Amino acid sequence: MYKILLTLFLIIFINKNLYSQNINLEEYEVYFGNTLIAKQDFIKNSQNLNEVQSKTLEFKPITDGFKKAYYLNGKLYSSGKIENLKENGVWEYWHPNGQKARKGEFINGKPNGTHEYWYENGNIRGIGNWKNGVYDGKWEMYNEKGLEKTVQEYKDGKQIL
């Protein structure tokens, strides 16, 4: 009986320590086999992984190159280029239902230039300008029906109109 309790304790202790290791997701990409998984979706839904996903889960250091990341449901989450370990160039993002969510340019991981946003129903949500990662210029926002436009002006991240 003592050996059984000791073995059970060791299994629980080892598993707790093994799985409690913190991984800085800012430095790693999440993969199931060869499929890159969207970090936000992984964080939100990792408790729902199936057995196959759990067995093929890998954390790999971020690398440069063109990337396509997927939701856990298999649908495309984002596509774009990583350069110097950050988003660079035009990136596109999609909602879990497959509708486009966002499109815009990034420079060294920060949004820059005009970005477009859409609701999950496909209607336009907003169009606005970024400069070095902060709002800068005109922003147009729409309700979920694609109507009732609101216009705001920003300068260096602060609303001026």
Q: Where does 20-129 have alpha helices with state H?
A: 39-45, 51-56
| Strands laid side by side in the 158-159 sheet | 57-61, 28-32, 35-37, 65-70, 76-83, 86-94, 100-107, 110-118, 124-131, 134-141, 150-155, 158-159
pLDDT digits (tens), the chain, 161 positions: 444 443 444 344 444 444 445 778 888 999 998 999 999 999 998 888 888 888 889 999 999 999 999 999 999 999 999 999 999 999 999 999 999 999 999 999 999 999 999 999 999 999 999 999 999 999 999 999 988 899 999 999 999 97
Whether 54 is in a domain gets the answer: yes
Domain that holds residue 139: 28-159
Q: What CATH number is attached to the domain comprising 84? A: 2.20.110
pLDDT at 8: 42
Whether 6 is in a domain gets the answer: no
Whether 16 is in a domain gets the answer: no
Whether 11 is in a domain gets the answer: no
Whether 3 is in a domain gets the answer: no
Whether 1 is in a domain gets the answer: no
* Total domain count, the chain: 1
Q: Where does 28-96 have alpha helices with state H?
A: 39-45, 51-56
Beta pairing, strands 76-83 & 57-61: unpaired
Whether 135 is in a domain gets the answer: yes
Q: Is the pTM of this model over 0.95?
A: no
pLDDT at 26: 84
Largest CA distance in the chain: 74
pLDDT at 55: 87
Whether 2 is in a domain gets the answer: no
